[in-house]
Structure 1
């Protein structure tokens, strides 16, 4: 209960906090304690809620409601055995108290016994005698089904919530979440359309409808839905952001920028909006403004790796590799498991001829699961340049497991084995490479000029072409 709505409740809270400061024990009735505890729980002041429960039970040791608050605290603190013990005692006193079943369900849920939690909540539902309690119970059952990944069942219960309160936007979001997880875009569109027939000025529903149309790439209808969301609430930041995304897809970059900038005026600047504005200016060829907004993005959120990567790609495209390297390191420091970043790191270092770092980047790229042929080949070529012939061979043998019978691999292996004077293996891979595609012999000429200029090697290549 919010104390601002009642002078009596305000007085109770003031008296309670005064009592804590002075250590003078004052008397409160049990309802006052319940309101005080509820207030502290709602604002997240658990320590004060616990003090109120302790003092409340000292003054009203038989109060079931105060003991239920104690159970709620035990559940929050994961003291489930203590919670169970009190709930068993309360069940003996009031077996038809629905709140006992709700708290029991909370305990079961904490133990990942979600099916049992659902059954317990359904008992509470039978004991409930008002719509507000029913709505809360439907929501709790829906959440338990979400824990079990039973999205159809969850959706059914969240719809029940919405039927009791058409303005329960939490339930509406959860319904759409279920539709999304089930890949039911058309069904979600139908549901939202019906909902909007009864609530035509619900900006949340229009916003969600627009996102569904966006998902199926119907950008014209998505744009119309976001426009209706804005008509319903012209301060709805989310609708402007989504409208900007649609306009970008339609290559209407100036209009997209205009919508993103509206969000900056309506609320605190978001890194997402700043980044999108930067990308729009980049598409329009306005590099100065693009990079300005990329810098604003990372100023707003220094931990947003996408901002640093946007700056990296900007300088990489401009062939300013020193700056690109500086910013790719920023991105990697934030997300060191991102394979795209490591690949870019390798490529930038390669351009700067920092071969050891480039090799490290390609190696990390492979370790993170990027098995593109070019990644293997680039790492192999760097190892050759570094004179790490054995390591290059091992890298190529690994590559051959993913790309068997690949001439680019075979010619490199031939050159490496010739370099290491392992003639039998060298001849095998050279002949195999020529059989696969004799046009790739240029690899020997580029990477192993000494090998290529051997008379015996030239003869094998020449004979292959004649054949």
Structure 2
């Protein structure tokens, strides 16, 4: 039994902790020890739980329940052999104890033998009338095996026994969503709501399913019922705000998001979306105010920094945009989107070396989009670094073979370096892929494009 907050339990705990400080051994019955151990395990205080187990077994050496707590700690510490040996001993004493089977299954699960874990848990089902936790554990094992249909069936059994087991309901919906069964999820939730019409969680989940299917009016109605069932349900107001925002009802969306700020601690999601809505309404001052609050509330939320940077970008206030994207990079220097924005802003400010550095960093972080290679290479051409540009484009060809934009650039670079054989090779490839992109040569390499020899080469390859 879990330790509660009543006076007797608090007194027992105080008495135990006082005993630890004084080394004066006091007597506790086995149930008191179980409560104490359960309390410490729930708090993650493993050392204190182990002390309580040791003292408990000193006073009650035959207690199966205390030994089961010892098994639980062994499993937590990954001492699976010790746990298994002790379980075998307990099985010989009390073979009908379902907790022994649960811990056996836990060991199999830790060893990634989920099929065996399920077998053992099904044996435990035959030994108890309290089946909810067992069905939940079986469902989780099926999730580990990616057997979502079987997982769903077992979580449904949990919900049949306890209609307020919301963790089971969330897991059922997770299975439906993974199987792309939104319509089936809606059918299930409607049947559940017929019997449990005031389940705010079920209404909330129903709204999410309708929203996923772009049935926005039905989604709104579901979220309304969730709020009627519980007018302090922050998640329902958030989701309702998302639907209203999608429908372009920005003032109504703001009202819903703002309500969440009064019901609970402000979330960066709500603050950010209030900012989006105000920007859509043309209220730049309030939009900025909420974007600022977003990045102060959660400096690690990239969407906040991106929103405020793009806000200034759209208004061509590039210096201010650069200020904020630099702040973002200082917080998270591994964010690809930050570096792409950094490069684009520097390019608009004609800070070409900084822009090239940003695109290079973007590539180093694994963003191999064609546009990134092209942007970086064009900057290297502009900076007078043809060899680096060639190296960049040749790497790009490995990721984007048969791409005319790359072939024309390589042809132009080799023409500029008087390497006619390589230039002709890439020029042939380029014309074969797309003649319409030949303007790239004129735009990027005007000094060589109009040379007679180059025009002759172009004419030969364009036939």
For normalisation by structure 1, the TM-score amounts to: 0.92
Residues 38 and 426 of structure 1: is their aligned pair in 2 closer, same or farther, counting only changes over 3 Å?
A: closer
Q: Does 1:321 align with 2:314?
A: no
Q: Secondary structure at the match of 2:316?
A: coil
1:194-209 superposed matches below 5 A: 194-209=191-206
Q: Does 1:412 align with 2:409?
A: yes
How far apart, CA to CA, are the structure 1 residues paired with 2:436 and 2:180?
47
How far apart, CA to CA, are the structure 2 residues paired with 1:111 and 1:405?
48
Counterpart in the other structure of 2:259? 262
Deviation for aligned residue 1:212: 0.5
Counterpart in the other structure of 2:287? 290
Q: Does 1:84 align with 2:84?
A: yes
How far apart, CA to CA, are the structure 2 residues paired with 1:287 and 1:185?
38
How far apart, CA to CA, are the structure 2 residues paired with 1:396 and 1:353?
22
* 8 A Cα contact 1:438 1:464, kept in partner: no
Deviation for aligned residue 1:12: 2.4
Counterpart in the other structure of 1:113? 113
* 8 A Cα contact 1:40 1:49, kept in partner: yes
How far apart, CA to CA, are the structure 2 residues paired with 1:162 and 1:215?
24
Counterpart in the other structure of 1:303? 300
Q: Does 1:180 align with 2:157?
A: no
* 8 A Cα contact 2:300 2:332, kept in partner: no
Q: Describe the superposition over 1:330-361 as per-residue Cα deviations: whole angstroms up to 9, x where unpaired.
A: 33445544433332222122222232332232
Q: Does 1:222 align with 2:219?
A: yes
Deviation for aligned residue 1:43: 3.2
Q: Describe the superposition over 1:355-385 as per-residue Cα deviations: whole angstroms up to 9, x where unpaired.
A: 2332232234344554443332222211112
* 8 A Cα contact 1:305 1:330, kept in partner: no
Counterpart in the other structure of 1:62? 62
Q: Does 1:453 align with 2:450?
A: yes
Deviation for aligned residue 1:448: 2.0
Counterpart in the other structure of 1:339? 336
Counterpart in the other structure of 1:72? 72
* 8 A Cα contact 1:306 1:331, kept in partner: no
How far apart, CA to CA, are the structure 1 residues paired with 2:82 and 2:352?
62
* 8 A Cα contact 2:404 2:437, kept in partner: yes
Q: Does 1:154 align with 2:151?
A: yes
Show structure 1 runs of 5+ residues with no match: none
Deviation for aligned residue 1:461: 5.5
Counterpart in the other structure of 1:248? 245
Residues 115 and 329 of structure 1: is their aligned pair in 2 closer, same or farther, counting only changes over 3 Å?
A: farther
Deviation for aligned residue 1:298: 0.9
Q: Does 1:125 align with 2:92?
A: no
Counterpart in the other structure of 2:270? 273
How far apart, CA to CA, are the structure 2 residues paired with 1:462 and 1:79?
76
Residues 403 and 73 of structure 1: is their aligned pair in 2 closer, same or farther, counting only changes over 3 Å?
A: closer
How far apart, CA to CA, are the structure 1 residues paired with 2:205 and 2:233?
13
Residues 186 and 334 of structure 1: is their aligned pair in 2 closer, same or farther, counting only changes over 3 Å?
A: farther
Deviation for aligned residue 1:454: 1.9
Residues 410 and 87 of structure 1: is their aligned pair in 2 closer, same or farther, counting only changes over 3 Å?
A: closer
Deviation for aligned residue 1:82: 1.7
* 8 A Cα contact 1:114 1:148, kept in partner: yes
Deviation for aligned residue 1:389: 1.2
Counterpart in the other structure of 2:104? 104
Deviation for aligned residue 1:18: 2.5
Q: Describe the superposition over 1:313-334 as per-residue Cα deviations: whole angstroms up to 9, x where unpaired.
A: 1122122222222322333445
Counterpart in the other structure of 1:356? 353
**259-268 vs 3-12, which moves further:** 3-12
**433-442 vs 8-17, which moves further:** 433-442
